[in-house]
Amino acid sequence: MAGKRGALIVLEGVDKAGKTTQCKKLVQALQQSGQSVEMMRFPDRTTIIGQLINAYLEKKSDLEDHVVHLLFSANRWEMVKKLEQGTTLVVDRYAFSGAAFTSAKPGFCLDWCKKPDVGLPKPDLVMFLQLSPAQAALRGQFGEERYETDDFQRTVQQKFDQLMKDPSVNWQEIDASQSIEDVHREITTHSLNTINIAQDLPLGELWK
Ligand code: NYM
């Protein structure tokens, strides 16, 4: 029916929780059920801003911490048109990763870190893939990128815990230690419910 909108669905979690695998499976399942759906990920490394972020993450360049935080946020703002288009979007990381990762650095508070993303399209659902550091360790070594150390990820998890206390966001915690198929089933059920509800509601503004 004309005028109905798609849902904005976000998957968050610490590194190795399985977000990308689950985003891809969810997009496939929703497409098979006849939904118009696309996947998006942040950082989107294909844009000019994304290339600056990519070089930083791969340790090929050094950027001042505030600068890189604002670039991550700008990388979301440059996608706003797409976010507002009306198809259901499944998004691999969003402003929550932005706030959690920067505020895990010394000298940054969560409140400052959230500010640049205030007013972005608000997700209808944020599923947080919960995985303990011990379980994450069983999934193998971290890669070579910035932030991929046990200590840093532990602090990031604490920041996510703080963000999840915010009742203005529709958080759903998912036990990511289950099998890929079980996690997928749970995520698909939540997403279908959200798509149904969101089509009759206006898109909100994040943290406003
Ligand atoms: N990251 C991601 C941030 O520090 N801030 C952000 O706003 C976003 C979206 O980038 N370790 C970090 C988290 C990851 C890294 O993400 C790259 P991915 O999903 O591995 O490409």
User: Coil, strand, or helix at residue 140?
Assistant: coil
Distance of CA 46 to the CA centre of its chain: 17
- Pocket probe for ligand 1: among 93, 114, 129, 154, the residue whose CB has the most ligand atoms within 8 Å is 93
Domain assignment of residue 40, given as a range:
8-202
The domain total for the chain is 1
Å from CA of 160 to ligand 1 middle:
13
pLDDT-derived band at 197 (thresholds 50, 70, 90) equals very high
Which atom of ligand 1 lies closest to the CA of 20? 19
| 83, part of any domain | yes
112-161 pLDDT tens trace: 999 999 999 999 999 999 998 788 878 888 888 999 999 999 999 999 99
What pLDDT is attached to residue 3? 62
What is the secondary structure of 71-123 as a DSSP string? HHHHHHHTTHHHHTSSSEEEEES-HHHHHHHHHTSTT--HHHHHGGGTTSEEP
Q: pLDDT > 90: what percent of the chain?
A: 87
Distance 34 CA to ligand 1 centre (A): 31
Spell out the residues 6+ positions from residue 54 whose beta carbon is closer than 8 angstroms to its own: 43, 45
Q: Using the mean position of ligand 1's atoms as its centre, give its distance from the Cα of residue 98 in Å.
A: 7
pTM of the predicted model, to two decimals? 0.97
Residue 96 CA to ligand 1 center (angstroms) comes to 10
CATH number of domain containing 70: 3.40.50.300
- In this predicted model, what pLDDT tens digit does every residue of 27-80 receive, in sequence order? 999 999 999 999 999 999 999 999 999 999 999 999 999 999 999 999 999 999
Q: Is 139 part of a structural domain of the chain?
A: yes
In sequence order, what are the beta bridge partners of 127? 11, 172
In a domain, 194, yes or no: yes
Give residues (CB < 6 A) around ligand 1: 15, 42-43, 57, 72, 93, 97-98, 101, 147
Report ipTM (2 d.p.): 0.99
